[in-house]
Every structure is written in structure tokens, then in C-alpha cells.
Chain A
């Protein structure tokens, strides 16, 4: 039944397009009118990173620049800065790589309480932790300079909830993963898909600051359903 319905649905479309069935091949759209490929082409990585920072300032997103060696300390500072409390973080390789666990262990319970995302515990347990956390830490894979955006995929080790449910989201981004605009990030995502469609993340979210609204008399209010505070930590 459903198959027949689908067929009829498609037949109607093909018919108004003047053919009897769905074509097997369509020459891909050739991108040429738009300037997107040429924009920012002459910029060095340093200039691109600067653009990211300038855009952060323009839209009021907090960012902190640090290096790999000081990252753990920077995160701890920022956690304190944001009032501490319960902190949820993923079990991705960055945690090991940056020695975060050891650093978190040095912090007293009165300052912050750390919980790690743990796929072994299943859905409800993880969401239950994230929903009462004050702070969530994630490691986006890419940044976009033009809009001060970070790109966060979901995965077993790092659920959607971490950067979504807590009041504060701290995103740790490597500066060498910042690209000028969405042209480059989309190309990278397309490559990833083409390489292995089955492994493409089920959810990739672009985050460009704290959630906000202007629905009441156009007055901007920060913090609606998503985080109220966002900090980007840029690792050089």
C-alpha cells in the first residue's frame, strides 16, 4: 500500500515535469554564480582566527585564548568564573589528551562536581545527569570565523544533551580547526559523508552563541531553551 502511494506521489511530480518516470541521473548543479569560494581566499590562518574573535566580540560571545598546556587550568578557571556546580563532560579522546580528568580531580566538591557522559549507563541516566548540570563541556570539531560558530557532532561519547541542557556551555575549540566560512566547513562535512556515509554523525549542530529570542516586543532576551551562557575556549 505504502509503496503504491509513494509511486503515485512521484508519478504526479514526474508528470508535471513532463516525464513518465524519475530520471536515473541528473547533472549536478554547477556552483559558479556565487562568490563563496573566493571570499577570504587571501587570508592567513592567523587572520581567520582574528576574524573569529572579532565576530565573537560583535555578538557578545565570551572567548578565552589558551594553549594546550594551560587548557586544563583555563577550563577550571572558567568553571569557577561561571559559578561552578555540577559539570558534565564527554568521554571523548580530548579528555585524556588534555589531561582533564586529573585536573578535575584537584577541584573540591564545594567548587564543582564533575560527571562524565557514560554510554554504558544508557539513555535515562545520562540525560538525568545532564539536565541537572550547571555546566557542560564539549569539543567541537570545527569553527567558522565569519559567524563565530562552533560545529558540534553528536556521538556515543558526547551526547547532544551536554551542550544543550546545562545553563552554561563551555566549548573547547582548536584554532587550527577554524575555517573562514560555511563554504569550507560544509565541504569538509561533505567529504566526511562521502568517505563513509554510515559513520556520518546523526546530529551536527552549529552553535553561534547562547540561545536567545526577540519574540516579546522584539526585546532581546538571552537564554530560552538552550544554554544561557556560552564560552568558547580557543586552544592554540
Chain B
């Protein structure tokens, strides 16, 4: 199956190994992957703040890059949501672009959704021996309605001990530009999220949205450094877990 990978700018800039994990998992499942060099950013960080006009360059670039692909797989849930559900609203006054956005929205998938719903795979043959909890990111879980897919994939990882997190679906406080516009509020929210992760007893917290994970990681590392929590908790994209043999 031929797919185009949308890596997400944060993964591109900060977490290349997450992108590679995604590539390797999908290749192992028989996908023929293209990573278009033209891709950059879905534009969400601008539309999230209300700058729709400014975001159009990024949005149109994304449409041009991916519109002819059979399947587009996004390593980040919130970008997939933006591309699938938000582009049409933003481009509603530009009929030609609207039509192109609509076409793209039909074949964009979030990473776990693609594996489970399109490839029909729930066991990728991974092994990961540790205690893992899962952060259910807002866009993926609520706005895209992808609830079961990541859970099924986790269930079938050999050796993985899943520990539930209290209110796992509660926002981590990232919220796109919220985290820099309202840093004081964001910090207390992320701190609460970090504490529920800590209290789950897990050594690893996973998720499928790298932005949330970056936010959570920053807090967990700081809290560990400051002695607020007594064990280091590793933050991993679900692709990394699925890529462990």
C-alpha cells in the first residue's frame, strides 16, 4: 500500500526518532512510504490563535503536497484533525481550494487509526517490557473520535503492562499556542496531568500526539529534576512502542 507520511513539524524539528519509528512500523506492515520534502506544518498553530489568513500559506502548502496521495498518515492526531476537519471551514470562501481540501480530508488518517481501521491490524508484533500508561489526547480522542484504536494496539504489545491513568482524556494544558499565551494556567494544568501519570505507577507514558507529549515530557523532567517526583518517567510516542521488538 502506498502512503504519504505527514510527520508534523514538531517531530521533524525535535523528535526525528519518532518519525523514524513510524516509518519502520508502517514499512513492516507492508506500506510503501513517501515522505514529501515539501511538507512543513499543517497551519494549526496559527489558526488556533485566530490567524486564519496567515495560516493559509501553510495550509495550501500541505494540500499541494498531499492531495494526490492515496493515503496520508499523520504522526500527530491534532494535525490530522486540522487537515481533515478544519481546512474546509478556513477555505470556505475559496471554492477551488475548498474542493481540494475536501478531497484531502477524505484520505487523511491518524497513525493508530490507519493501522487499525485501514490496515486492519491490531497486533504489529511488538514487544515492550515495562509499565505503560496512555494519555488520550483531546483532538484524537474527542474531536476525531479515535478511542479504541490505540488501546487495541497497546493491548497486543507483548510484555507491556498497561496501567490506567485517572482522567486520561483530560487536556494536558498544551492547547497549541495556549501554552505560551497562558503559561501560568498551562503550567498548573500540565502539573496536574503529570501527577496523574506519576500516580498511575507507570514508568512510561505514551500518546499519539507529539505536541502533548512534548509538553508532558517537559513537565515530568522538570519535576524529577526538582525532586517533586521520585522516579524518571519516560515519554514515548505510540509509534516508538510499536517499533520495539
Whether chain A touches chain B in the assembled complex (some CB pair under 8 Å): no
